[in-house]
Amino acid sequence: MPDPSADAPLRLVALDAEDLEVLSAHLQDFVVRVGDLVFLPRDKRFAFVGNRIDRRVDGETRRRRAAGHFDRVLKVSARGVDRSAPETVLNLLAIAFSPSEEPSGVVELLFSGGSSLRLEVECIEAQAADLGPVWAAKASPAHEGEA
């Protein structure tokens, strides 16, 4: 019998490095257009919307529309992300955290092709949530070391 919770929308909160690892795992292969990434400096918020792989269903590759944000963000810097090309699609590989003077540090969003975004944060405070139904993905992402 199918697991009814497999279709339930995902909602995650990250308040420390361990939580951020869980968020990173669920957002691996998240695809986002450059134009759907926004830094709101007055609100100290970095927000995004895109499509994530829903890995909760075995044997199927499905995607879901999802959104999220990081709060308490002081500065955002980019490497290899062209803000003048808003239709460019980025593929998120991982989210990493490097502490500085605890609880502050740098959250790094690492994308395929060597692009990245560095968020200087007062502390880890992030959320991500699904926005709608799932659909079959056209392709299944593969990574080195996967069978």
Domain extent listing, the chain: 7-136
pLDDT in tens, 60-89: 788 999 999 999 999 999 999 999 999 999
**Is 26 in a helix, a strand, or coil?**
helix
What is the model's pLDDT at position 1?
43
88 in Cβ contact with 63 (< 8 Å) = no
Look at 8 and 144; give whichever has higher pLDDT: 8
Measured between its terminal Cα atoms, the distance across the chain in Å is 27
Q: What's the whole-number average pLDDT of the chain? A: 91
- Give yes or no for residue 144 having a pLDDT over 90: no
Q: Compute the C-alpha angle 53/81/69, nearest 5°.
A: 50
Using the structure block, give the residue that is written with the tokens 């279709």: 7
Q: Compute the C-alpha angle 104/24/129, nearest 5°.
A: 100
What is the model's pLDDT at position 116?
98
